[in-house]
Amino acid sequence: MGDLPATPALISVLVVPAGVVLLALLAAAMNGALDARAAGRPAASGVAVPLVETARLLRQQRRTLAGADSVLWRIGGAGLVVAALLKVLVVPVGAVSFADIPAGIVWFNAMDVLLWALWWMLGWGANSAYSLIGGYRFLAQALAYEIPLMFALTGPAIGAGSLDVTQVAAAQHDLWFIVWMPVAFLVYAASVVAFAVWGPFAAPAGTDAVSGVLVELSGPDRLVVLAGRYALLVAGAAFAVPMFLGGGAGPLLPAWAWVLVKTAVLLGVFVGARRLFPAIRPDRLAEVAWVVVVPLVLVQLLVIAVLAAVGRS
C-alpha cells in the first residue's frame, strides 16, 4: 500500500465532508425551489427548505420500535453518508487527489455495492412491514441496474487504458468521453439516480408503500438518511466528472473550480430529473434492464474497444 502523507489525509477528512455537505444542501435547496414552484408558490420560498428541515429534524424526537434491530438499522442509516464520502475520495479535485488508488474505478464500484447492504439494512432493521418492502424494492432495482453500471464503468477504463481515475481524466485531453460513450454515460447517470433512490427510481421510498424505508425514521435518523440521498447524488455527479466530463479541463478557471462547476451542473440535472420521469416499478425494470440495456451497453463497449484499439495503434 502506498504511504499516505499526513497532510492530505487530514485535509481530506475535513474538506471532503464539508464539500459534500455543501453541495448536498445546494441540491436540496434546488429541489425545494422546484417543489415550491410546482405547488404554485414562488421558487425562492423553497430555497430555505433544507435548512428549515434540518432544524426541525434535529429537534424532533427519535423513535424506535419493539424488536427493531437497532445495530443494523442505524448502520444502514448512517452508512449512506459514509458510503457517499468514500466514493468521493477517489475524485481528483484539480491537482489534489485525496486517495489516488490504482483501481479507483473498482473502488467506486465497491462502494456503491455497499449501498445494497445499507439500504436493505435500513429497510430490515426497523421491524416494520412497509420498511422491509422498501428494502426489498431496492434490491430488486439494484439487481437491474448493477450489471449495466459495471459495464458502463468499464467503458472509460477501456478508453483510457487504466483503472486509475486520474489517468482516465487525463486521457480526455482531446475529446471528452461523454461524446463517444453516450450510452455508457446515460446508464451511469441512471444508476446514480437509482442508487440514491431518487426520482424515477424512488420506489424503495415510494409513496405507495407509505414512503418505504423512510416510514419509521424520525428525528436525526431521518435527517441522516435524507442527507445521505443527496450526498449519494453529489458523489455520483462528482465521479462522473473525471470519468466522462474531462476532469478539471476548461478555460479560464483553475482545475478544482471546473470540477466543482461540472459537479454542480450534473447535480442540477439529477435533481431536475425527478420531475421529468414517472416512478418506475422495480419488477418491471428487471426485464427492461436485462433484455434491452445490457446488450446496448455491451455494443457500446465493443465500439469503445474497437475505437481505442484503432486509436492506439
Least distance in Å: CB of 278 to another protein? 13
C-beta of 60 vs 127, nearer to another protein: 127
309 part of the interface to another protein, by CB under 8 A: no
Per CB under 8 A, contacts with another protein among 83-112 are 101-103, 106-107, 109-110
Do residues 27 and 267 lie in contact, with contact meaning Cβ atoms separated by under 8 Å? yes
The Cβ of residue 3 has, within 10 Å, a number of other Cβ atoms equal to: 5
C-beta of 208 vs 283, nearer to another protein: 283
C-beta of 271 vs 297, nearer to another protein: 297
C-beta of 24 vs 213, nearer to another protein: 213
Do residues 262 and 245 lie in contact, with contact meaning Cβ atoms separated by under 8 Å? yes
158 part of the interface to another protein, by CB under 8 A: no
Three-class secondary structure assignment of 244-313: HCCCCCCCCCCHHHHHHHHHHHHHHHHHHHCCCCCCCCHHHHHHHHHHHHHHHHHHHHHHHHHHHHHHHC
Per CB under 8 A, contacts with another protein among 230-289 are 281, 283-288
Number of residues that bind another protein (CB under 8 A): 40
CA distance 35 to 32: 5
Phi-psi region of 211 (alpha: psi -120 to 50; beta: other; left: phi over 0): left
163 part of the interface to another protein, by CB under 8 A: yes
Residue located via cell numbers 484503432: 310
Least distance in Å: CB of 103 to another protein? 5
Give the one residue of 95, 269, 292, 299 binding another protein; rule: CB under 8 A: 292
In the complex, which residues of this chain contact another protein (CB under 8 A)?
1, 3, 66-69, 71-73, 101-103, 106-107, 109-110, 113-114, 116-117, 120-121, 124-127, 136, 139, 142, 146, 163, 281, 283-288, 291-292
